Chains A and B, each alone.
Chain A
Amino acid sequence: MSFAEDSQISASGVQASKLSGARRGVEPGQNATKRLQTELMQLMTSPAPGVSAFPSADGNLLSWRATIEGPDDTPYSSLTFKLSFEFPSNYPYAPPTVLFRTPIYHPNVDFSGRICLDILKDKWTAAYNIQTVLLSLQSLLGEPNNASPLNGEAAELWDKDPTLFKTKVMDRHKDVEDD
């Protein structure tokens, strides 16, 4: 998704609210759900390989579940990771909170699933979307940022002992139940 496209979305939103006139107040969070619906449609019409996402079963559009397949040629190949996305009501102007629900052994992910990724923090822009986040995370699996690790041991082992790393990955990985 390009930035231009995104600004178009917001522009059309403005237009719509103008059209509808003063008698319709725009509910806060309405924009976020609208955008998420659009994103869902995009995800469905042009899915990216190895990643998928969907709103959670309770019907709350601000809470999503996603799946990433471990890329080949990485220690995570053939593994599947579940993630949770919690969107703020001012999404996309603030990043979603993304957590690994599947336990993962990774230099940039801590043991409670928190992720250290700049685009989910200060580098976030409204031009990102769920798909780009998922793809970034997928590439993070293959190319961890060992300079700022959350899991120091993993960062060390990544370079030093790939075999042990792989074992740790396999040890830690465990399919999570649905909630």
Chain B
Amino acid sequence: MPAAVASNWRDRRRQVFQSVFQTDIAQSTPQSTPGSLHSAPGLPFGGPAASLLGQTLRQQQLQQQHRGFSPGEHPFLQRTTPDSLFQTSAQPLFAPNKDQERYDRAWHVVTARIALPSSATADDSFGTLAADSQHQVSRKPHTDSGGIDSTFHEAFAALVNARSLLPGATRTDDILAWHVRQVRAHFAQHVIPLLNGCVGDDEGDAEESSDDEEVDASRWRARRKGNYYERHMVVVMSSIRTLEAALRLYFFGLNQLLSGFARLADTSPEAAKDTELLNARFRRDLHALVSNSASEGLKRAIKAVLIRLAGTILGISSPDEAVAGGEQRRPAAPGQHDLKVQASRERLIELVQQLHNVGLAGERFQVFFAEVMDVMMSDFVIGAYAGLWSAPDPRSFSTAMESVSLSTSLSGASPCTMSLNDWVENHFARLSFEVLACISPNSQGTLPVSLADLKTYQSLALGRLAALRIRELFDIVLAWPTSRPALDDLRATITTAARRKQLTDSLSRVLQTRLLHPGCSTLEILRTYISIIRTLHALDPSKVLLSHVEPGLQLYLCQREDAVRVVVTGLLANSEEIRAVRGAEDTPKQEGDGPRTTAPGRGKHYARALASSTSPTNPGPSTSLSQANNPLPKVDSAQTTLDRLGYHPTKLVELALILNNPSQTQPRRHRTSPATTTTTTTTATAAVANPDRDPDPELDWNDMSWLPDPIDAGANYRRPRSEDVIGTLISALGSEESFIKEFTAVVAERLLLPPTSSSSSSNSGTPLVAVKTDRAAGLEFEQELRVLRLLKRRFGEASLQGVDVMVRDVVESRRLDARIQLRRGGEAAAGVDGLGGVEYHAQILSRLFWPGLDREHFLLPEVVVEQQRVYEAGYERLKSRRKLTWLNQMGRARVELELGDRRVEVDCSTVEATVIYAFQPSEGGGSGGDEAEDAPPVVVVRKSVDELYAQLQMDEDLIAAALQFWASRGVLRRVAGAPNTYAVAETVDERNAAATSGATAAAAGVQSDSADQPKEEEELEPAAAAAAEAAAKPAVLAKDRERREIYWRYIQGMLTNASASMPLAQMAMMMKMLIADGFPWSNEELQDFLGEKVLEGEMEVSGGKYRLVKK
């Protein structure tokens, strides 16, 4: 046995050392003892010969004891220490003392009896053997009370009552103290090395892993699998056995002494001592000795064993078991009759009792145990609930859902908290009780674990759960509707202001790292924001939590220039997009279970159903665990979910949905426009039942769910009425002005969009005008008007006056247009108007109220100009003192082209119409198209960009774009050989020829010459100069051109200064970061742009990096 060898060797070394340096002077031994003791087993008493080398300190003690008695015999001992020298010189003076002699003899008798075996290092099982031998000895005095017994007791009595019996003995000592000293020395000399030996096998490799016990333990558990636990168990058990044997040995001596005391008590009570007290004191000292000398390895082993056993009992599987089982099992409260658990429990109790008996269950062990239990609780909470946001039991889950969605049980327990409380009560507290009952000194007194302790445990566990959920909160937000049960956990556990603060702080921090960085699009941020609003509102209807998290988000969103636009376009998402989302939502809704739909007032089932369709069941434990660990894939999956369900990824359609959802907007709208509520009869009941309808909910005495304001609410806190996603978003976007400005711009754009369905007004069509005016009743702008009403309520009427005017302009101009048309129609019937059936409509916009009305100069066809004049006259007749300014580029036109072999009807912009009109044969032009038939032109009209520029005074880019447009329609074709020159493709053949190859265009030209008289008639109906369509290309083009110019300068600056060559992504990143107004281009757009520049010879690409061409 290596341990024994090691201990042996250590002894030798120490002895050699002591023989030279006399370190054991501190050893307090009786100053005088009878020296005739030679009967101790294996104690060859003699000089310090080589045979002594195997001996131990014990022997030295004996030598010292002997020294007083016969000083002259051992010269070696005479020169031990100054102290002993003094003693030896002093003693002969008192030597002829009879009493002293008797005392010494008695001392010898007693000590010989209780002397501990000196050493058994060569013996493998020192403890047991020694114990056995001692047992035999110890049994002897009790069984047969021979002569030894009586001599012992006499001697003992002499020793104890030395003062009265042997007054002459001056050098006396307390035999008990001697025994204690002896025990200490023995323990230090023999037991500790043995204990180290028990641990030693393990220590070598345990130490190399880590010094930190806990990490060490868990890592080892993982690495060494089951083996590890068994090894530790062996360490613990062998240590316990060793200690048990040693303690038996010590207590044997003590019992001898105590029995002496007991017997003495009969004769001379004054000398007797309280044996109980002595026993307890001895035991206490011994336990202190044992527990203080427990080695790190032993502690580690005990801890490992504890962890393993407690883990099994508490239902937390250790990794090695999990590996054996093939997959990770979530911790769960074990069943009542789990045999394995029962076995572990018995084993643990037994172990604890053993530890207690040998004195290893002292305070230190209790700290251990507390630590282990602490780890267990954390492990259980994290293992069982991380990423698992619904109760394991589906039935309780759905009932919880229902109760929560009715928002009646705000403080009620959630499934997770209930199961956790149950676990704490039935497993955690039970285990603590059992273990503590084993080791607590007064097991008959107060309970080791009281009810109050149980409550503390439970609140601790809930605290852990709260911390876990707080850490997960961002993921909970991302998985919003499915994660409702997790919110219930939070609501049940977040009970103190400190935890609320922790929650908001943690969420804010996570937001900074995971959401508010340039990698997230504004849309994503806003979408997450909506989820946050909803989550936190569900968590805390008072909105105080939200208000603590919001500032960071809002601050960041203010830096996102496109945030306002995203919100506005989202609000104004058109009905098709909404329908798309609705459609996606409806299907899963049908499969949604019953209880959920019983809460219409919440107005969130669309989202819930949406999510429930994606994950109808609880996510598998392993997957959700991995999601919790690496959250990024989760974001992706959420995104793909949205995409798959028809969410338009580029718009915040959710907002429009909310807006259209009556229950969401009910509390707001019933004030401003009660009429709208009647349109949604289905939810009217919900609205009535909604307590928000009450004039002042604060004074609603019947509100049973009323709660006081949260304590962390601000001074001016006002209870919000509803979730109010839209309102919160809008207020989060910073200043009203920017929002209103953006809203105005978007609405202007949309108001001027060409009406999709009935824009076709033909030259014959008077009835179509009627259709148009019908539509002017305002139905088509329902969405806009609704948003407008909402915003008016928020920002006040005055700030949105502009939008009001815009809407009125649109309606009014339709009415005016109708009247002017009527009058004109009358004139036309009277034959005054001979303008070839060109129909002309205009929209009249109030100049000051519309954003982005820029004039683009070009010459309209004469026919149109004539119409404008007529229209203007008509308008001025109706509205005196007002003047029309025509915005020629912002119009739409319907063009009918009669080509050689076909008729083409195209809706296009006024610019395009003007350009194609220029291709009309000159002899037919001017006054109109109706006389074109009389004079058939012979030549195909062809024009170059320059010619058109001279003729129309239009921007060249616009001309080029328009030509491109017509070429793509097959009306024009490029003339080969002449750059930037186009000709009319009169026949399909020509068009095909032009389309198939530009090289054969010459042949096509010949063909067209030979073609029969090309007849061309163009009828232009630029539906209005002032029909300002902000979406019309020219304005956009001008803006876009300007923007491209600026961007080009940025790129030049970047490549000149920052770095001579850069990859696309980096350039895009720089542009996004540096352009204060935001850089709306996607990487692809930028790539196209750079591609153009490369084609133009401004840039070159090499190795994926762009650089400027040096000139």
Contact status B734-A178, CB under 8 Å: no
Asked whether B1074 lies within 8 Å of A47 as measured between CB atoms, the reply is no
Task: Indicate if B1054 sits at the interface (CB-CB under 8 A).
Answer: yes
Q: Is A41 an interface residue (CB 8 A)?
A: yes
**Residue in A41, A53, A57, A67 whose beta carbon sits within 8 Å of that of B1066 in the complex:** A57
Q: Is A19 an interface residue (CB 8 A)?
A: yes
In the complex, chain B residues 1030-1053 whose Cβ is within 8 Å of any chain A Cβ: 1046, 1049-1050, 1052-1053
Is there contact, CB below 8 Å, between B1057 and A65? yes
Cβ-closest chain A residue relative to B1049:
A44
Assess whether A178 is in contact with B1059, with CB atoms less than 8 Å apart.
Answer: yes
Asked if A57 contacts B1070 (CB within 8 A), the reply is yes
Complex CA gap A53/B1074 in Å reads 13
Contact residues, A15-55 vs B (CB, 8 A) = 19-20, 23-24, 34, 37-38, 40-41, 43-45, 47, 52-55
Option from A40, A52, A61 in Cβ contact (under 8 Å) with B1056: A52
A5 to B675, CA, bound (A): 52
Bound complex: CA A47 to CA B1051 (Å): 13
Contact of B558 among A20, A52, A55 (CB under 8 A): A20
Closest chain B residue to A23, Cβ basis: B551
- Scan B1063-1091; emit 1 where CB is below 8 A from any A CB, else 0: 00010011001111000000000000000
A37 interface neighbour in B551, B554, B734, B1076, Cβ under 8 Å: B1076
Within the assembled complex, what's the spacing in Å between the Cα atoms of A178 and B1059? Answer: 6
How far, in angstroms, from A162 to B1061 measured CA to CA in the complex? 36
Complex CA–CA separation, A176 to B1050 (angstroms): 22
Decide if A55 touches B1052 in the complex (CB within 8 Å).
no
8 Å CB contact of A178 from B735, B1060, B1070, B1073: B1060
Contact of A61 among B555, B1053, B1059, B1074 (CB under 8 A): B1074
Interface: B1058 (CB within 8 A): yes
Given A54-B1053, A54-B1054, A67-B1057, are A41 and B551 also a contact pair (CB < 8 Å)?
A: no
Q: Which residues of B contact A67 (CB under 8 A)?
A: 1056-1057
Distance, CA A48 to CA B1075, complexed state (A) = 19
Please determine whether A55 and B1070 come into contact, CB atoms closer than 8 angstroms. yes
Shortest C-beta distance, B316 to chain A (Å), equals 44
Do the beta carbons of B1075 and A65 come within 8 Å of each other? no
A151 at the interface (CB under 8 A from B): no
Residue of A nearest to B1072 (CB): A59
**Per-residue A-contact encoding for B1093-1107, CB less than 8 Å = 1, 0 else:** 000000000000000
**B551 surroundings in chain A (CB, below 8 A):** 23-24
Q: With an 8 A cutoff between CB atoms, is B746 at the interface?
A: no
A63 CA to B1075 CA in the complex, in Å? 16
B1062 within 8 A of A: yes
Q: Are A55 and B1058 in contact (CB under 8 A)?
A: yes
Task: State whether B735 touches A19 (Cβ < 8 A).
Answer: yes
CA distance A59 to B1066 in the complex (A): 9
C-alpha gap A116/B860 in the complex (Å): 61
Q: What is the minimal beta-carbon distance from A13 to any residue of chain B, in angstroms?
A: 13
- A44 near B1058 with CB under 8 A, answer no
CB distance from B1107 to the nearest CB of A (A): 10
> A155 on the interface (CB 8 Å rule)?
no
Contact assessment for B1058 and A54 in the assembled complex, using a CB-CB cutoff below 8 Å: yes
Name which residue of chain A comes closest to B1070, CB basis: A59
Among B734, B735, B1056, B1073, the residue within 8 A (CB) of A59 is B1073
Whether A41 and B1076, one on each chain, are in contact in the complex, defined by CB atoms closer than 8 angstroms, is: yes
* Residue of A47, A54, A59, A64 most packed against chain B (CB within 10 A): A54
A59 to B1059, CA, bound (A): 11
Can you name the residue of chain A whose Cβ is closest to the Cβ of B734?
Answer: A20
Chain A min CB distance to B563 (Å): 15
* A37 and B1056 alpha carbons, distance in the complex (Å): 18
In the complex formed, the residue of A with least CB distance to B518 is A59
| Shortest beta-carbon distance from A47 to chain B in Å | 6
User: Which applies to chain B's interface (DSSP): helix, strand, loop or mixed?
Assistant: helix
Point out which of A19, A44, A52 has the most chain B C-beta atoms below 10 A from its C-beta: A44
Are the CB atoms of A54 and B1073 closer together than 8 Å? Answer: no
User: Within 8 Å of chain B (Cβ to Cβ): is A146?
Assistant: no
- B1058 surroundings in chain A (CB, below 8 A): 54-57, 65
A47 CA to B1048 CA, complexed, in Å: 12
Whether B1074 lies near A40 (C-beta < 8 A) is yes
CB-based contact B1046/A44 at 8 Å: yes
Which residues in A have their C-beta under 8 angstroms from that of B1052?
A: 52
Contact flags B704-738 to A (C-beta < 8 A → 1, else 0): 00000000000000000000000000000011000
Q: B555 contacts which chain A residues (CB < 8 A)?
A: 24
Query: Does A115 make an interface contact (CB < 8 A)?
Result: no
* Inter-subunit contact A64/B1057 (CB<8 Å): yes
B1067 shortest CB reach to chain A, Å = 10
Q: Does A66 contact B (CB under 8 A)?
A: yes
Kindly identify which residue among A20, A41, A59, A66 contacts B1057, using a CB–CB cutoff of 8 Å. Answer: A66
Q: Which residues of A contact B1061 (CB under 8 A)?
A: 178
- Residues of chain A lying within 8 A (CB to CB) of residue B558: 20
User: When the two chains form their complex, are residues A44 and B1060 in contact, meaning their CB atoms are under 8 A apart?
Assistant: no
- CA gap between A37 and B558 in the complex, in Å: 16
Task: Decide if A53 touches B1053 in the complex (CB within 8 Å).
Answer: yes
Q: A23-B551, A57-B1066 are in contact. Are A52 and B1053 (CB under 8 A)?
A: yes
CB atoms of B1059 and A57 under 8 A apart: yes
Report B492 CB to chain A, min CB distance, Å: 30
Complex-state Cα separation, A45 to B1050, whole angstroms:
9
Q: Chain B residues near A47 (CB, 8 Å)?
A: 1049
Q: B1049: shortest Cβ distance to chain A, in Å? A: 4
A54's partner among B734, B1057, B1069 (CB-CB below 8 A) is B1057
Distance to closest chain B CB from A38 (angstroms)? 6
Query: Is B1057 a contact of A44 with CB atoms below 8 Å?
Result: no
CB distance from B1015 to the nearest CB of A (A): 51
Residues from chain B with Cβ under 8 Å of A53 in the complex: 1053, 1057
Bound Cα distance A26, B662 (Å):
40
Neighbouring B residues of A20 by C-beta, 8 Å: 558, 734-735
Chain B residue with the shortest CB-CB distance to A85 = B1057
Nearest CB on A from B73, distance (A): 89
A178 to B650, CA, bound (A): 38
Chain B, residue nearest A26 (CB): B555
Are B1050 and A44 neighbours in the complex by a CB distance under 8 Å?
Answer: yes
**A contact residues around B1056 at 8 Å (CB):** 52, 54, 67
Distance A45 CA – B1060 CA, assembled complex (angstroms): 21
B1069 is contacted by which of A23, A40, A59, A66 (Cβ under 8 Å)?
A59
Min CB gap B552→A, angstroms: 10
Closest to A20 in B: B734
- Please, what's the 1-or-0 string for B553-578, where 1 marks a CB less than 8 Å from any CB in chain A? 01100100000000000000000000
Q: Given the complex of chains A and B, what is the CA–CA distance between A9 and B1069 in angstroms?
A: 26
Closest to A24 in B: B555
Which chain A residues border B1073 with CB–CB below 8 Å? 59, 61
Q: Chain A: which residue is nearest B555 at the CB level?
A: A24
Contacts of A34 in B (CB 8 A): 1076
- B1077: nearest residue on chain A (CB-CB)? A41
Taking CB atoms, residues of chain B closer than 8 Å to A37 are 1074-1076
- CB-defined contacts of B554 to chain A, threshold 8 Å: 24
**Residues 55-95 of chain A, each 1 if its beta carbon lies under 8 Å from chain B, else 0:** 11101010011110000000000000010000000000000
Central interface residue in B555, B1057, B1059, by most chain A CB within 10 Å: B1057
Closest residue on chain B to residue A46 by CB atoms: B1049
CB distance from B1076 to the nearest CB of A (A): 4
CB < 8 Å: which of B734, B1046, B1074 contacts A45? B1046
**Chain B residues near A (Cβ < 8 Å):** 551, 554-555, 558, 734-735, 1046, 1049-1050, 1052-1054, 1056-1062, 1066, 1069-1070, 1073-1076
Given A23-B551, A44-B1046, A57-B1058, 5 more pairs with CB closer than 8 A:
A40-B1050, A54-B1058, A57-B1054, A57-B1066, A65-B1057
Please name 13 pairs of A and B residues whose Cβ atoms are closer than 8 Å in the assembled complex, sorted by A. Answer: A34-B1076, A37-B1074, A37-B1075, A38-B1076, A40-B1074, A44-B1049, A52-B1052, A52-B1053, A54-B1050, A56-B1059, A65-B1057, A67-B1056, A82-B1057
**A-B pairs with lowest CB-CB distance, top 9:** A54-B1057, A65-B1057, A57-B1059, A54-B1053, A57-B1058, A44-B1049, A37-B1076, A54-B1058, A23-B551
